Amino acid sequence: MPDDKTDNHRSRKVPSSRAARMGAFGRLATGVAGGVLAEGAKRLARGERPRLRDAVMTPANAMRLADRLSHLRGAAMKMGQMISMDAGDMLPPELAQILARVREQADRMPPNQLRDVLDKEWGKGWLGRFAKFNPRPIAAASIGQVHRAVTKDGREIAIKVQYPGVKESIDADVDNVASLLKLSGLLPPELDIKPLLAEAKRQLHEEADYIREGEQMMLYRQRMEGSDRFLVPAIAEEFSTERVLAMDFIPGRPIEEMESAPQEERDEATADIIALVLRELFEFGVMQTDPNFANYRYQPDTGKLVLLDFGATRAVDPDVAASYRKLLAAGLDQDRDAVRKAALEAGFVSEGVISSQGERLDTIIDIIITELNRDGPFDFGDRAFVSVIRDEGFEIAADKRAWHIPPVETLFVQRKISGTALLGARLKAKVDVRVLVRPYVESEPLSA
Q: Which residue has the higher pLDDT, 26 or 260?
A: 260
Query: Packing angle between helix 74-87 and helix 408-426, nearest 10 degrees?
Result: 70
Query: In which band, very low, low, confident or very high, does the pLDDT at 139 lie, cut at 50, 70 and 90?
Result: confident
Pair 281, 321: CB distance under 8 Å = yes
> What's the average model confidence in pLDDT over 92-121?
71
CB atoms within 10 A of CB 351: 10
CB atoms within 10 A of CB 29: 17
Query: In which band, very low, low, confident or very high, does the pLDDT at 96 lie, cut at 50, 70 and 90?
Result: low
> What's the average model confidence in pLDDT over 226-246?
96
Rounded to 5 degrees, φ, ψ at 247 are -155, 170
Among residues 307, 204, 194, 206, which one has the least CA distance to residue 252?
307
Rounded to 5 degrees, φ, ψ at 432 are -80, 85
Q: Looking at the annotation, which residues are catalytic? A: 290
Interatomic CA distance for residues 139 and 373, integer angstroms: 40
| Per-residue DSSP letter, 57 | S
Q: Which residue has the higher pLDDT, 420 or 404?
A: 420
Interatomic CA distance for residues 429 and 427, integer angstroms: 5
Interatomic CA distance for residues 53 and 50, integer angstroms: 9
Interatomic CA distance for residues 447 and 337, integer angstroms: 11
Interatomic CA distance for residues 87 and 96, integer angstroms: 8
**The model's pTM:** 0.79
Query: In which band, very low, low, confident or very high, does the pLDDT at 167 lie, cut at 50, 70 and 90?
Result: confident
